[in-house]
Structure 1
C-alpha cells in the first residue's frame, strides 16, 4: 500500500513536471508576436473590433496566465482607420487554477497611457455604438433558399450563473485621457492626466482608492483640478456599494468665474443599496471658498423617479465677498449688505425640482422663515413663500450712478438758488423761473433678459419692510411672473399710522417695457413721505390718494416722461409751510376796514382744513383744473400744471376773502359788504419743493380785482385806484402772499 502511494506520488509529480515543462516550452518556444495577424483576425471575427498591435506581446501561461501589450489600439470595424482607444502598455496576470472555480485572482493590473476618444457626429451617431458590432453584409443578387428547420424541443432552464469572485492585488492607471466631442452642439469635454491607484481589490473588504484628474470643457471654457480619496466596499450579491471616508477636493477656473479661482472640498460617507433602491450621503461636509456647509442627503426609489430628502446647514458667511470670489460680483450696495448670511433647511427634490422646506434664513439681522423652491429646473420655475420679521430692501438696491448723482446735485442747487432768492427778498421778487434740470435718473432699472426667462410665484410678508426709505408695517407682497409678463397682485401695509395698497403689471417682452400701477393711500402724513425721499415738504397733513398710471421705458426718466393716467388726492387737517396766508389777508382786510387787529400775529404757517383736487397726467405733465383749499376765513381755488419731468409747477390761484369766521372773530378782520366775494389772484411758478414760497401776486389779475372793488368804474386805471389808497394799504396789498 505504501508502495502504491509512493508510485502515485511519483506519477503526479511527473505530470506536474511535464505541465511546468510544457508551460516553459510554450512561453519560451512559442512567440505570440509571430501571430499578430492571426490575433487581429480573431479580434475581427469574434469581438468585431479592429485591433492594432504595434508593440511587443509578452505572456506567461502557468501558474499565472499573464499578458502584456505595448502600443496597441482599438477601432470599430465600420471605421477601422480611426481608433477610439489606444494605450502604451497594459499588463495583467491571472492565476490559472482559480479560474476553474470562477474565481479571478490577479496580480497588479497596470494601464499606461490610455487614450479614449468618444465622439458623436452631426447625425447624432456615437462612435461607441459600433463597438462589438459586425459590419453590414452587402446584399447579393442570389436569393437565399429558405432554411428548413427541424422540430426543436424547448431548452432546459439554465441555472443562474454564480458571480465571479474578484481578487486583485492592485489596480494602477497612469497618464490616461478621455475626451468627448459632439459635432451637433460643438461641445467638448475632456479628462486628462488621470491617475488611479487602488489597494487590494477584494469583495466585502475596504479597498483604498486614490484618483486625480484634470477636467475641461469648451462651452463654457472651464478647467478643474480634482483629487478623490476614500475606501470602496462592495457586495455584488447584496447589490450594496459603499464609499467610506470619501474626500473630494480641487480647484476650478474658467469663463463663468471671470478669471477667479474656486477652491472646493467635500467629504462624507456614500452608500448605494440597489436591492433597497436607496442612496445616502451622510456626514456631508462642504467648503467652497468662504462657504461652509453640513448636511445629509438620501435618495429613495432609484428604480422609479428618484426622490431626494435631507437637511442642509450653511454657517454664517459673507455672501457678497463669496460671489465676488467666484466671479459674480454684485452691484454696489449699502456697506455691509449681504455680509452675514446663514441658512438651515430641510431638502426635498426630484431630478427636475428642488425645495428648501422649513427654511430659516438669517440675512444681515433679518430672519426669514418659510419655503423656497425651484419646481422645474428647465423652466426655472421659482416658488417663494417667506415671512420675515424686519427687512430693509433699500440696502440691497444698486447705488445711483455718477451721472444720476450729478443730475441730483445740479437740481438741488437750482432749487436752493430759487428758495434763497424768494426768502431774501421776502417774496417781492419776480416769479422764480420754471425749473429745467431733469429730476430723474437714466440708469437702467430692470434686467429684461432675466425677467423674460422668469417663472415665479412669490408670497412674502414682513413685520416691517423698509422700501424707498418708507417704514411699512405688516407688509404683504404677492406677485407672479412668466414669460416676461409680471403681475403685482398686491403690495400693502401700514404707513405712519395710515395704510397703503398697490397693484400693477409689467410687460417686459419687448425692449421697451410697459408698466401699469394702481395705488391707494389713506390717511398717511404727506410730509413724512416727502422727508423719506430727501425732500423738504412744502405742506403737512394726512393725504388720501387714488391713482391709476401707466408708463413705458427702462429708466426713471423714461417712465416719468411717458407717464399717463389719473389721480385724485385729499389732504386733511394740514399746514401750508412758510405761507401765512390768513395773517396777511387779515392785515389787508384790517387796513381796508381802517381798523387795527386786536390779536397778536399768528404762526408763519397757514393751517387748512382740506386741500383736494384731481390730476390728469399726459406724458409726465399733471394737469390740475380743480385745486381747492379750505382755510378758516378763506376759500382758495386754483388750476395749473405739475411737470413731473422736472418737478416744477405753474399755477394760477384765486383766494376769496371771507373774513374771520371763528366763534369770536377779530372785528378788524371782518369783511364788509363792499369787499365780500373779492378774489385775490396769485401766480405760483418754480420748483415744486418751494411750495407757497414760489407764489406772487398776479399783477395781470390785479386790474380785475380793483375794478370789482370800485363797482362800475372799470375804465379807471389800477394805479389811480391804488394811489387813492392809504400808502400802508398799498404796500400791504403788494406784499400779500409774497412770503
Structure 2
C-alpha cells in the first residue's frame, strides 16, 4: 500500500507538472495576437459588438487566466465605424479553478485611458441602446431567412442560474472620460480625468472607494471638480447598496456663478434598497462657502416618480454675502441686511419641486413660521405662506442715490426759503412763490427683468410691520405674480388705532410699467403719517381717504408725473398748526371797517371740526374743486390744485365769519349786519408742507368784498331815509342799483 501511495503521488505530481508545462507552453508558444480576426468574429457572433484590437494582447493561462488588451475600441454592430468606447489598456487576472464554481476571483483590475461616448440622436435614440444587438439583416439574408425552417425553441435551463460571486483584490481606473451628447436639446455632459481606486471587492463587506473627476456641462457652462471617499457595501441578492462614511468635496465654477467659485462638501450614510424602491441619506452634513447645514433625506417610489421627505437645519449665516459669493447679488439694500439668517424645516419634494414645511425661519431680528415651496424648478414657481412676528421693511431699503439726495436737498432748501418768509400769524408778508423743485428721484426702482420671470403666490402676515417708518399692526399681504403681471390682492392692517387697506397691480409687460392702486384709509392721524416721513405736519386730525389712481414709469418721478385718477378725503377733529385764520380774518374785517386792530394775536393755531373734499388727478396735478372746512364761527369753502410733481398748492378760499365773539371784542373786528353773507377771500400758494402758513388775504378779492360791503351800507341808508314813504318795490330797485 505504501508503494501504491507513493506511485499515486508520483503520478499526480507528474500530471500537475504536465499541466503546468502545458500552461507554460500555451502561454509562451501560443500567441493570441495571431487570432485577432477570429476574436473579432467571436465578439460579433456571441457578444454582438464590433471589437477593434489595435494593440497587443498579453495573456497567461494557469493558475491565473491573465489578459491585457492595449489600444482597443468597441462599437455596436449598427454603427461599427463609430466606437462608443475605447481604452489604452485593460489588465486583469482570473483564477481558473474558481470559475468552475461560478466564482470570479481576480487580482488587481486596471483600466487605463477609458473613453466612453454616449449619444442620443435627433430622433431620441441612444447609441447605448444598440449594445449587444445583432447587426441589421441585409436584403439577401432576409430572403434566405424567409425560406428556412423555423428556429428551434431555446433550451430551458436545467436550474435557475445563480449570480457569480465576485472576489477582486482591487480596481484601479486612471484617466478615464465619459461624455454624453443629446442632439435633441444640444445638451452635453462630461466627466473627465476620472481616477478611481478601491480596496478588495467582496460582496457583503465594506469596500474602500476613492474617486476624483472633473464634471462639465455646456447649458449652462459649468465646471465642477469633485472627490468622493467612503466605503461601499452591496448585496446583489437583496439588492441593497450602502455607502458608509461618505465624503464628497469639491469646487464649482461657471455661468450660473457669474465668475465666482463655490466650494462644497457633503457627508453622511447612504442606503439604497432597490427591492423596496427606497433610498436614505442619514447623518447628512452640507456646506457651501459660508453655508452650513444638517439633515436627513428619504426617497420613496424609486421605480416611478421619487417622493422626497426629510428634515433640514441651516446654521446662522450671512445670506447676502453667501449669494454674492455664488454670483447672485441681491438688489441694493441697506448695509447689514440679511446678515443673520437661519432655518429649521421639514422637506418634501419630487425631482421637479421642493417644499419647506413646518418652517421656522429667522431673518435678522424677525421670525417667520409657515411654508415656502418651489412648485416647478423650470418655471421658478414660488409659493409663500408665512406668519411673522415683527418685520422692519425699511432697514432693507438702499441708501438714496446721489441724484435723489441732491433733488431732496434742493427741494428742502426751497421749502425752507419759503417758510422763512412766511409769517402766517400776522399775515403781512408777500404770498410765497409756487415751488419749482421736485424731490422725486429719477432712479429706476422697478426690477422689470426679475418681475417678468417671477411666478409667485404669497400670503404673508405680520404681528407688526414697519413700512415707510409706519408701525402697522396685524398687517396682511396677499399677492401673486405671473408673466410680468404683479397683483396686490390685499395689503391691510391697523395704524395708530385707525385702519387701512390697499389693492392694485403692477404690469411690467408694456414698455413703461403700469401701476394701479386703490386705497382705503380710515381714522388715521394724518400728523403721525407726516412725522414718520420726517416732515413737519401743517395740520392734525383723523384722516379718512379713498382713492383710485394709476401711473406709469419705472422711477418715482415718472410715476408721479403720470398719476391719474380720483380720490375723496375727510379730516376730522383737526388743527391747522401755526396758522391763526381768525386773526387773518380779523385783519381783513378791520381793513373793510377802516379801523386798526388794537389787540395782539391771541394764538397761532386754528382748530376745525371737519375738512373734506374730492380730488381729480391728471398727470400729477390734483384738482380740488369742493374744499369745505367746518370751523367754529367760520364757514370755509375753496377750490384749487395740488401739484404733486413739486408738492405745491394753489388755492382760493372764501371764509364767512361771525367776527370777534369774545366778551370784550376788538372794535376793529366786529361784524355788523353789513358783513352778513360776505365771504372774505384768502389765497394759499406755496410748498405743500407750509399748509395754512402759505395763506394770505387775497387783496384782489378783498376789493370785490369791499364793494359789496359798501353796497350794503348804502342800502342801509336808503332804508333809513325813505322809511315807509315809498313802495317796497322802489326800495328794492334802489338797493339793487347800488349793489351792482
Q: Distance in 1 between matches of 2:286 and 2:146?
A: 67
1:491-640 mapped onto 2 (5 Å cutoff):
491-586=491-586, 588-589=588-589, 601-640=601-640
Q: Distance in 1 between matches of 2:598 and 2:583?
A: 12
Which residue does the alignment assign to 1:104? 104
Q: Distance in 2 between matches of 1:307 and 1:60?
A: 51
Which residue does the alignment assign to 2:735? none
1:153-232 mapped onto 2 (5 Å cutoff):
159-232=159-232
Equivalent residues of 2:85, 2:117 under 8 A apart: yes
Which residue does the alignment assign to 2:401? 401
Residue correspondences, number: 713
Q: Distance in 2 between matches of 1:178 and 1:431?
A: 84
Q: Distance in 2 between matches of 1:631 and 1:449?
A: 52
Which residue does the alignment assign to 1:276? 276
When structure 1 is superposed on structure 2, of 125-134 and 509-518 the one drifting more is 125-134
Q: 1:96: how far off? A: 0.9
1:375-394 mapped onto 2 (5 Å cutoff):
375-394=375-394
- CA pair 573-225 structure 1, distance change in 2 beyond 3 A: same
SS at match of 1:405: helix
Which residue does the alignment assign to 1:723? none
SS at match of 1:617: strand
Computed over aligned residues only, the root mean square deviation of the Cα atoms, in angstroms, reads 2.7
SS at match of 2:422: helix
Equivalent residues of 2:588, 2:680 under 8 A apart: no
SS at match of 2:416: helix
Which residue does the alignment assign to 1:442? 442
Which residue does the alignment assign to 1:20? 20
Which residue does the alignment assign to 1:290? 290
Which residue does the alignment assign to 1:730? none
Which residue does the alignment assign to 2:347? 347
Q: 1:145: how far off? A: 7.5
SS at match of 1:24: helix
SS at match of 1:542: strand
Q: 1:317: how far off? A: 0.9
Which residue does the alignment assign to 1:728? none
- CA pair 146-174 structure 1, distance change in 2 beyond 3 A: closer
Q: 1:140: how far off? A: 4.3
Equivalent residues of 1:284, 1:296 under 8 A apart: yes
Q: Any idea what the Cα deviations from partners look like across 1:401-428, whole Å, max 9, x if unmatched?
A: 3322222222222222222233499754
Q: Distance in 2 between matches of 1:109 and 1:351?
A: 36
When structure 1 is superposed on structure 2, of 525-534 and 282-291 the one drifting more is 525-534
- CA pair 158-387 structure 1, distance change in 2 beyond 3 A: farther
Which residue does the alignment assign to 1:473? 473
Q: Distance in 2 between matches of 1:274 and 1:150?
A: 39
- CA pair 142-569 structure 1, distance change in 2 beyond 3 A: closer
Q: Any idea what the Cα deviations from partners look like across 1:31-77, whole Å, max 9, x if unmatched?
A: 11122232223323333333222221100111111111112222334
Q: 1:587: how far off? A: 5.1
Q: 1:210: how far off? A: 0.6
Q: Please report the TM-score for the alignment, with normalisation by the length of structure 2.
A: 0.90
Equivalent residues of 2:198, 2:210 under 8 A apart: yes
Q: Distance in 2 between matches of 1:423 and 1:131?
A: 97
- CA pair 423-79 structure 1, distance change in 2 beyond 3 A: farther
SS at match of 2:702: helix
Which residue does the alignment assign to 2:654? 654
1:3-402 mapped onto 2 (5 Å cutoff):
3-140=3-140, 143-144=143-144, 146-147=146-147, 159-402=159-402
Q: 1:368: how far off? A: 0.5
When structure 1 is superposed on structure 2, of 594-603 and 573-582 the one drifting more is 594-603
Q: Any idea what the Cα deviations from partners look like across 1:644-669, whole Å, max 9, x if unmatched?
A: 1221212111122222568x684755
- CA pair 151-466 structure 1, distance change in 2 beyond 3 A: closer
Which residue does the alignment assign to 2:412? 412
Q: Any idea what the Cα deviations from partners look like across 1:360-389, whole Å, max 9, x if unmatched?
A: 111111110111112233333322111111
SS at match of 2:602: coil
Q: Distance in 2 between matches of 1:320 and 1:686?
A: 44
Q: Distance in 2 between matches of 1:277 and 1:661?
A: 94
Q: 1:153: how far off? A: 8.1
- CA pair 556-607 structure 1, distance change in 2 beyond 3 A: same
Equivalent residues of 1:597, 1:666 under 8 A apart: no
Alignment partner of 1:710 is 2:710: yes
1:670-689 mapped onto 2 (5 Å cutoff):
670-689=670-689
Q: Distance in 2 between matches of 1:372 and 1:674?
A: 74
User: Where do 5+ consecutive residues of structure 1 fail to align?
Assistant: 715-739
Q: Please report the TM-score for the alignment, with normalisation by the length of structure 1.
A: 0.91
Q: 1:692: how far off? A: 2.0
Equivalent residues of 1:270, 1:282 under 8 A apart: yes
When structure 1 is superposed on structure 2, of 452-461 and 276-285 the one drifting more is 452-461
Q: 1:129: how far off? A: 3.2
- CA pair 598-142 structure 1, distance change in 2 beyond 3 A: closer
SS at match of 2:139: coil
